[in-house]
């Protein structure tokens, strides 16, 4: 489970999304590391639509800090502002390109963040959490 809080995306184990090696380059890997508050761990959620009235599928889930089933981009706070994307199943940063692989949404039912292009894929730490590498993997919700 992931939560958006104070510009960080953190999981229940206290790990945060992290752009590997502080390198702001195309296709650089995303990992899950302990919080050190560097720019490579800070992200903005940019919702695609504008809030006009409280929709059923757009209400803020205050427990997780994200709006339910409302698509968003995850933009790195590193200087080039690259978006979180997937390459194969590996999570990377890329220049914004308009593809649905850069679009994400919070699924209330499974309590996961899913990819808009591959709706059955959720954020996952490779090797069942024994790695730091982030990937998009089949949603199983086995951790809660």
What is the model's pLDDT at position 52?
A: 43
CATH value of 2-138 in 3.30.1360.70, 1.10.274.10, 2.80.10.50, 2.60.120.10: 2.80.10.50
The beta-carbon contacts of 124-130 under 8 Å, at least 24 apart in sequence, are 125/11, 125/15, 125/32, 129/13
d(CA 66, CA 14): 17
Say if pTM beats, i.e. exceeds, 0.85. Answer: no
Question: How far apart, in whole angstroms, are the C-alpha atoms of residue 49 and residue 29?
Answer: 28
What is the pLDDT at residue 4?
A: 92
Can you give the pLDDT at residue 111?
A: 86
Tens digit of each residue's pLDDT (9 = 90 or more) over 36-66: 999 999 998 888 765 444 435 777 877 678 8
The dihedral sign for the CA sequence 111, 28, 79, 22: positive
Q: Read off the tokens for 40.
A: 């490579």
Please give the pLDDT value at position 54.
Answer: 40
Sorted by where each begins, the domain ranges of the chain are 2-138
Instruction: Give the whole-angstrom CA distance, residue 58 versus residue 60.
Output: 6
What b/e readout covers 37-50, taking b as 16+ CB neighbours within 10 angstroms? eeebbbbebeeeee
Ranges of residues in the chain with a pLDDT under 70 are 49-56, 63, 141-144
């Amino acid at each position: 489970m992931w939560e958006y809080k104070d510009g960080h995306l953190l999981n229940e184990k206290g790990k945060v999304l992290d752009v590997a090696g502080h390198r702001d380059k195309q296709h650089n890997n995303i990992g899950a590391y302990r919080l050190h508050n560097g720019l490579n761990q800070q992200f903005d959620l940019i919702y695609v639509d504008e809030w006009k009235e409280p929709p059923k599928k757009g209400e803020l889930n205050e427990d997780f800090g994200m709006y339910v089933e409302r698509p968003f981009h995850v933009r790195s706070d590193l200087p080039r502002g690259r978006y979180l994307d997937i390459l194969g199943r590996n999570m990377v940063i890329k220049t914004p390109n308009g593809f649905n692989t850069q679009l994400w949404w919070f699924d209330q039912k499974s309590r996961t963040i899913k990819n808009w292009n591959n709706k059955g894929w959720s954020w996952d730490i490779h090797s069942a959490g024994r790695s730091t590498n982030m990937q998009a993997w089949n949603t199983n919700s086995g951790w809660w």
